[in-house]
């Protein structure tokens, strides 16, 4: 087996910890790149995306903390529209800091519980 990168090891560790805590709740998955931020709420039981938000076509462009806050508010609104109030937060292999933390805080302010 090939040696995994630190990012991939962190991502797998986070995902396996989520499976034990998730129960029936969907997961709020976050992905960030140098240019954009993406968030989606995924129902793993059905294997489909329930709601999504990103900086691609939104009000904010770029990948700074302000854009992350806007994406967090957008995903919370989309989740509310889909009837979801409680999720588990999947940060992937990203550290819970900066843009990822700003997105999570904005989603909580928007009404999501995690």
Report residue 73 as tokens.
């508010």
Domain count, the chain: 1
The whole model's pTM is what? 0.90
Q: What is the pLDDT of residues 56-107, one digit of tens each?
A: 976 677 889 999 999 999 999 999 999 999 999 999 999 999 999 999 999 9
Mean pLDDT of 28-46: 94
The sign of the CA dihedral 8, 10, 14, 16 is: positive
The pLDDT of residue 22 is 83
pLDDT score at 2: 81
The Cα–Cα gap between 57 and 35 comes to: 13
- Which CATH number fits the domain that encloses residue 21? 3.30.420.100
Q: Answer yes or no: is 114 within a domain.
A: no
Question: For position 1, what pLDDT does the model report?
Answer: 64
* Domain span at 26: 6-109
């Amino acid at each position: 087996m090939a040696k995994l990168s630190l990012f991939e090891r962190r991502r797998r560790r986070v995902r396996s910890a989520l499976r034990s805590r998730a129960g029936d709740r969907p997961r709020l998955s976050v992905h960030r790149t140098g240019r954009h931020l993406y968030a989606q709420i995924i129902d793993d039981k059905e294997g489909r995306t329930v709601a999504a938000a990103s900086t691609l076509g939104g009000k904010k462009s770029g990948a700074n903390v302000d854009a992350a806050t806007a994406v967090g508010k957008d995903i919370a609104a989309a989740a509310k529209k889909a009837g979801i109030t409680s999720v588990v937060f999947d940060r992937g292999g990203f550290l819970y800091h900066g843009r990822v933390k700003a997105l999570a805080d904005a989603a909580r302010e928007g009404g999501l519980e995690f």
